[in-house]
Amino acid sequence: MTASRVKAVELGTNVRTRRSLFGGVAGIAACASFAGPLKAFARPHRHTAHAAKAAAAAAADAPVGTPANTPIGPFDTVARWAYVVDYDTGAVLLDKASDERMAPSSLTKMMTAYIVFGMLATGRIRLEQSLPVSEKAWRTQGSKMFVPLGQSVLVSDLIQGMLIQSGNDACIVLAEGIAGSEERFVAMMNEEAPKLGMMNSHFLNVTGLPADGHYMTARDVATIASHLIRDFPQYYHYFGELEFTYNHIRQGNRNVLVDKGLADGLKTGHTDAGGFGLCASSQRNGNRVIVVINGTSSSNERAHEGERLMSWAFANFENATLFRRGQVVDSAPVWMGEHRQVPLVAGADIVMTLPVGWQQRSHIGVDYASPVIAPVAKGQVCGALVISAPNMADIRVPLEAGESVAKLGLVARAMTRLGHGPAQ
């Protein structure tokens, strides 16, 4: 595509220049997030026909529900709350009431696990350490790993009991052993949650047992899932173990997606108030997606809907690296500088999550004030990469000066203004 520039009427006049780099190359999810560091990641293009076939199959298998918002149009789901996000870019692929408070049930245990993993990582507790079982822990109702009253249990066993068997008793033993009481451990959870970006969660216990004022949102569930994967990769494997036997009682992982090999971890939950919920993550072809649903009517519906949304996400979206950190995207003219132009570079790897098949319907260009006024400091934001696609708001990514450009000396500036200096 031929680039077009808007020229200044008179030297030194600052105007906006929109320069087209290329069109029909990449699309972008409308709600893609660029907060935090972007990771370099490129995937081979998948044939559009395959994606369309998978999408059609998902639509044909769709339950009767209400639509969620997605970058490619409404998508029905029976889940009352649903949220699907790309782990690498933070792009939101599906959103249904994701900021509405809900009873998280045993999804709470993901936050409990985060505190436990933090204690392990800092050496405050050890996997081979044993913690005593109190009567409170032994009497705790709901799902159990069946810890023995008056005895001690290895921390490693308690973690498996908490995450594989969803043992409420295991959670209490861990909380009391780390903080002295469940209440003090809960205070640690509530203190840590907003630091992780969980701005709409409040915990009253470590188990997720029903309690007025105990809530999370689907977005916050996905947030803690991302942190568990990113911050504690050495412990993430516990979420993906298929079964655990303790006290001669064998129990399988309650996350059916893990059991079927469709996800590599995270958690399920159920209460009357929250319905049946699930948080699952899977990595395929180097791309990781996190799916959160809650408010389904049965364990079978939960498993079916979780599998359907996971398959839909991988069939309809892919990631592509548009520019690497430091790569020159374009050059901008400089006014009154020792160099005539300054390269505009990506300050970080620019990775986009984009709908499959939208590559030929999108456009990438740059937008900057022209000319850039000297002096220019390396790293100074001088413009933006602009990604446009039909029916979507433009996505703007800052571009930086790739090198410094000093201001001309007094004589050279004067000659330039008189038209005798180097063309700028």
Active-site positions?
A: 106, 109, 166
Q: Where are the alpha helices (DSSP H) in 44-154?
A: 48-60, 108-121, 135-139
Tell me how many degrees the CA angle 181-197-77 measures, rounded to the nearest 5.
100
Neighbour count for residue 62 (Cβ, 10 Å): 15
Q: Report how far residue 292's alpha carbon sits from residue 68's, in angstroms, rounded to the nearest whole number.
A: 13
Cβ partners under 8 Å of residue 328, min gap 6:
343, 344, 345, 402
Residue 166 CA: distances (Å) to CA of 85, 109, 248: 24, 8, 17
Quick check: helix, strand or coil at residue 112?
helix
Which token pair is 348? 């970080």
Q: Report how far residue 257's alpha carbon sits from residue 263's, in angstroms, rounded to the nearest whole number.
A: 5
Q: Report how far residue 246's alpha carbon sits from residue 165's, in angstroms, rounded to the nearest whole number.
A: 10
Q: Strand 275-284 vs strand 265-271: parallel, antiparallel, or unpaired? A: antiparallel
Q: Is 7 annotated as a binding residue?
A: no
**Concatenated DSSP letters of 256-281:** HHHHTTS--EEEEEEETTTEEEEEEE
Q: Report how far residue 163's alpha carbon sits from residue 171's, in angstroms, rounded to the nearest whole number.
A: 9
Q: Which of 403, 398, 406 is nearest to 374 (CA)?
A: 406
* DSSP single-letter state for residue 204: S
Host H or E run for residue 324: none
Cβ partners under 8 Å of residue 157, min gap 6:
145, 246
Q: Which of 358, 285, 329, 382 is nearest to 32 (CA)?
A: 358
Tell me how many degrees the CA angle 134-135-137 measures, rounded to the nearest 5.
65
Residue 190 CA: distances (Å) to CA of 124, 173, 209: 20, 19, 16
- Binding site: residue ranges? 267
- Binding site for substrate: residue ranges? 267
